[in-house]
């Protein structure tokens, strides 16, 4: 007897589910902007301190990632050979009068125009003051986003890293550019008129993070310090803090690639506004000096400030058995040693050095001193060699 046919029911297939649209992956720059937006809308207090510290750490890591990625790409840069007793960079947005100021300060002949981007390369000039020969660099104007590479900003800011002093120039007609340029400088890892915080981080194999402080910490809690360190992959370390630092300073120490240089803030084109408006702008920016490069107003005062801010001193040299040369001194940086002077005079001087005699800062005239002795302004130095 034939078996009855059994109908096979086709299994109903589920309708394919619609895929959720993939979220667009943010670029590093977009991620940084998102975090910066979050910071701008978060009020700083004890409750938010921990969160703000972590967000700033994330921004710093992203900037470092972006910077390391840009180094792999081939591109043109600015090659500047340092000369003279010190190097000064004139930094500002386009058309602030950098080229006019360079010409006023030095014997340079930089192109001057009333339109943007006149300077397309680095133009050096030599400023002579108090027997010092100071190299002054006119660089292309930077724009917003310079630290991220806009308008060859990275190349300009790289030149700044090699300078001994930065003169930040602000157009009196565009005072809003002050905060913008300071942000670009900060984002590029340059710290103006600051020094490296007194913090020591010693990594170890185990034991977690231990925070020690030689004073009461008011800006950062120990928990925040540990969290920021952890964000950078520091799991086991002894962190010793010898000054009251904030989260930005801690991040600077952890990353360890910051560059610290002195600066002078200058407002230019003061001949174009009345005194009342100028006073208002000065109150907001608090510059070190106001000038008119075109009219050459207060240029001599700026020369003096550059010399002082560079920390230059004058050392008079004396040959054994002869009078000291008190006419033309050797220009050195403040707190230099006898060894530094020897290095500047000739590469063999340190090797052949026996001792030196000092007149001026020593306890008594002609006192015998060795290589590590720190010299003062207007000291007379007599070097004895084998």
Q: Is there a single domain that holds both residue 271 and residue 316? A: no
Q: Is there a single domain that holds both residue 346 and residue 373? A: yes
Q: What is the pLDDT of residues 12-27, one digit of tens each?
A: 555 556 665 666 788 8
Instruction: Identify whether 323 is part of a domain.
Output: yes
Asked whether the predicted pLDDT for residue 184 surpasses 70, the reply is yes
Q: Is there a single domain that holds both residue 305 and residue 322? A: no
Strands (E), the chain: 86-91, 123-129, 132-138, 165-171, 190-192, 199-203, 209-213, 237-241, 259-261, 263-268, 289-290, 312-317, 330-333, 353-359, 367-369, 379-385
Q: Is there a single domain that holds both residue 301 and residue 240? A: no
Q: Is there a single domain that holds both residue 336 and residue 374? A: yes
Q: Is there a single domain that holds both residue 151 and residue 127? A: yes
Residue where a domain stops, chosen among 256, 274, 302: 256
- Mean of the per-residue pLDDT values of the chain: 87
Instruction: Identify whether 101 is part of a domain.
Output: yes
Instruction: Identify whether 15 is part of a domain.
Output: no
Asked whether the predicted pLDDT for residue 74 surpasses 50, the reply is no
Q: Is there a single domain that holds both residue 181 and residue 264? A: yes
Domain count, the chain: 3
Q: Are strands 263-268 and 289-290 parallel, antiparallel or unpaired?
A: parallel
The tokens for 300 are 């001599």
Q: Is there a single domain that holds both residue 163 and residue 290? A: yes
The confidence score (pLDDT) of residue 343 equals 94
Q: Is there a single domain that holds both residue 156 and residue 286? A: yes
Q: Is there a single domain that holds both residue 240 and residue 112? A: no
Q: Which of 340, 361, 364, 362 is nearest to 350 (CA)?
A: 340
Position of tokens 């530094």? 340
Q: Is there a single domain that holds both residue 127 and residue 151? A: yes
- Please give the average per-residue pLDDT across 373-377, as a whole number: 96
CATH number of the domain that 336 lies in? 3.10.20.30
Q: Is there a single domain that holds both residue 176 and residue 287? A: yes
Instruction: Identify whether 10 is part of a domain.
Output: no
Instruction: Identify whether 47 is part of a domain.
Output: no
- Please give the average per-residue pLDDT across 34-56, as a whole number: 86
Asked whether the predicted pLDDT for residue 278 surpasses 80, the reply is yes
Q: What is the pLDDT of residues 196-240, one digit of tens each?
A: 999 999 999 999 999 999 999 889 999 999 999 999 999 999 999
User: 78: which DSSP letter?
Assistant: -
Asked whether the predicted pLDDT for residue 109 surpasses 50, the reply is yes
- Boundaries of domain holding 349: 312-385
pTM as predicted: 0.81
* Contact criterion met (CB below 8 Å) for 310 and 165: yes
The confidence score (pLDDT) of residue 235 equals 93
Instruction: Identify whether 40 is part of a domain.
Output: no
- Please give the average per-residue pLDDT across 58-79, as a whole number: 68
Give the Cα separation of 13 and 11 in Å (integer). Answer: 6
């Amino acid at each position: 007897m034939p078996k009855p046919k059994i109908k096979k029911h086709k299994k109903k297939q589920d309708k394919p589910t619609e895929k959720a649209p993939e979220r667009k992956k943010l670029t590093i720059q977009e991620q940084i902007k998102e975090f910066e937006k979050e910071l701008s809308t978060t009020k700083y207090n004890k409750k938010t301190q921990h969160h703000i510290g972590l967000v700033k750490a994330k921004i710093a890591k992203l900037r470092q990632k972006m910077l390391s990625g840009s180094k792999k790409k081939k591109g043109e840069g600015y090659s500047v050979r340092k000369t003279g007793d010190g190097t000064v960079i004139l930094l500002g947005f386009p058309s602030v009068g950098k080229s006019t100021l360079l010409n006023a300060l030095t014997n340079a002949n930089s192109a001057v125009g009333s339109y943007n981007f006149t300077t397309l390369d680095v133009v050096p000039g030599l400023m002579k003051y108090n027997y010092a020969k100071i190299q002054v660099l006119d660089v292309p104007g930077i724009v917003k986003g310079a630290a991220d590479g806009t308008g060859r900003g990275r190349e300009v800011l790289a030149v700044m890293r090699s300078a001994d002093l930065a003169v930040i120039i602000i157009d009196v007609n565009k005072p809003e550019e002050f905060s913008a340029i300071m942000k670009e400088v900060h984002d590029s890892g340059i710290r103006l008129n600051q020094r490296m915080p007194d913090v020591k981080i010693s990594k170890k194999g185990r034991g977690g993070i231990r925070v020690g402080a030689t004073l009461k910490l008011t800006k950062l809690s120990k928990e925040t310090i540990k969290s920021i360190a952890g964000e950078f992959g520091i799991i086991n370390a002894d962190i010793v803090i010898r000054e009251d630092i904030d989260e930005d300073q801690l991040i600077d120490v952890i990353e360890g690639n910051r560059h610290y240089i002195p600066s002078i803030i200058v407002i230019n084109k003061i001949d174009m506004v009345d005194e009342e408006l100028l006073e208002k702008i000065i109150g907001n920016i608090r510059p070190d000096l106001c000038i008119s490069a075109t009219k050459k107003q207060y240029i001599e005062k700026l020369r003096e400030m550059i010399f002082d801010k560079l920390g230059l001193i004058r050392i008079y040299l004396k040959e054994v058995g002869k009078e000291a040369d008190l006419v033309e001194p050797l220009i050195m940086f403040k707190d230099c040693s006898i060894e530094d002077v020897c290095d500047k005079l000739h590469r063999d001087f340190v090797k052949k050095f026996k001792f030196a005699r000092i007149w001026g800062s020593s306890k008594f005239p002609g006192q015998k001193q060795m290589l590590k002795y720190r010299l003062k302004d207007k000291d007379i130095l007599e070097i004895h060699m084998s």
